[in-house]
Amino acid sequence: MNKIQKLLRVYGLEKLILNSGSVFLRRIFGMVLSFIWVFIITNLFGSKVYGLIAISQVIISFLGVFFCLGIDNVLVKLGSMKEHYRGNYIQSDFLRKAFVIVVISSFLCGFLMISFKDVLAVQIFKKEDLASYFNCIGLLSILFLSHKAFIGFLAVEGKFNKYGNFYFLYPNMLILILVCITYHYKLPPYFIIIGYILSYGIFGLTYSVSLLRIPIKLKNTISYKKILKLSTPMMISSSFLLISSWTDVLMLGAMVSESDVGVYNAAFKLGSLVLIVVAAVNTVLSPKISKLFEGKNIEGIKKEVQKATKLISFLSLPIVVFMIIFRKPILGLFGEEFISGQLVLVIVSLGMLFNAMSGSVGQILNMTIYQKQFRNFTFICAFTNIILNYFLILKYGIEGAALASLISNLIINIMCLVLVKQKFNFYAFFRL
């Protein structure tokens, strides 16, 4: 233990581990629970139902990013500025106005989803059963949007335990219970997606409403226009990132069987395990970058980012190696048919490892003044990913989708690394 502590002290990682550790552990437990409920779905309902749920999850993720309008990121940025939030005291009305924006956006989201559910299900995905899933998504849009928009502000408040509970632990516990209830009472499979949304939405809506207790008269004010001006580039970049990340599942949903989508999504979920580490560290790092940049402390940003990259890389490498070596028995846990996703798991794991070792480059650009450049990079990445997915899925099926994801991952991380070097004069990439 002393040798490990000494090594961590040499790399300056002790404090970062302490700050992000609570989020990391809760994400680990949440991930374990998520694999349990996925395991139950695949074994009790089959790969076809899981394929429909996987497509629905992607739709929820995309709607959450697009109709959240970047509010989740802008709250972290504004919350790190003294004119809006200082010493745990709200200084402006930015939270109240953000809530109004999210409520209006959620009604628009729900209306569009309910109106076009049949078009999406039948004409786009060619899976009529999806209409029921999409209808539920539209009706409950306020729940997942409020969770997406406001839970991240807990990190700004320094409430990392609560953040980890509301984002990772409690929702997955509740989903597991609701999946079992759906099976026990022989409810239609789309009740699983209702449970999925409720599990996150209950905590998101509760917390966002609690923020409305802020006093009406505040020292400073910020206009809706300024909030949207800051948030829109972040929303666009997040949307393109999500499109790039989930283009494979969406296009597979339109081009291959539900079973193949289920196999791919299970393998992709396993290969993305390193994102547990990345997300946990970035939760702590994002507000730090914003505060350091406000104080024009570029050297401080460099030190924090490089420490974070080392920590992410040290923790990610063993996970990837384990996934690659034991890919067959791990995939076999989901059922015999899922073993066909072995190559997908290898390709996705390698892409995620490169992502981890590239450092928190996206966070650096978003939390400073380069969110528009990051938006442009994500557009290029998303467009490239769509083109690659189309041709590679036609030729190689689910392995082609994984390969397209890997190439797109390399492109955006390299572009971000180059820009960070140009603007801040340091490399975010992992180096001993």
Lowest mean pLDDT among 133-147, 191-205, 295-309: 295-309
Of the chain, the percentage scoring pLDDT greater than 70 comes to 90
Query: What are the CA-CA distances from residue 413 to residues 59, 276, 292, 313 (Å)?
Result: 24, 18, 23, 15
Reported pTM: 0.67
Please compute the mean of the pLDDT values over residues 90-102 and round it to a whole number. Answer: 85
Domain limits, the chain? 13-424
Question: What pLDDT is attached to residue 24?
Answer: 65
Q: Using pLDDT thresholds of 50, 70 and 90, give the confidence band for residue 216.
A: low
pLDDT at 125 over 70: yes
**What are the φ/ψ torsions at residue 86 (nearest 5 degrees)?**
-140, 125
Give the count of beta carbons closer than 10 Å to the beta carbon of residue 297: 14
pLDDT single digits (tens) 72-91: 888 888 887 778 877 677 77
Residue from 102, 95, 94 nearest 221 by CA:
94
pLDDT at 117 over 70: yes
Q: Which residue has the higher pLDDT, 182 or 371?
A: 182
Size of the chain, expressed as the number of residues it contains: 432
Average pLDDT, the chain: 82
pLDDT at 217 over 90: no
The span from the CA of 27 to the CA of 165, in Å, is 8
Q: DSSP label at 240?
A: H
pLDDT single digits (tens) 280-307: 777 777 777 877 887 788 888 888 888 8
Q: Using pLDDT thresholds of 50, 70 and 90, give the confidence band for residue 37.
A: confident
pLDDT at 4 over 50: no
Per DSSP, the three-state class of 81 is: coil
pLDDT single digits (tens) 314-361: 888 888 899 899 988 888 887 788 888 889 999 988 988 888 888 778
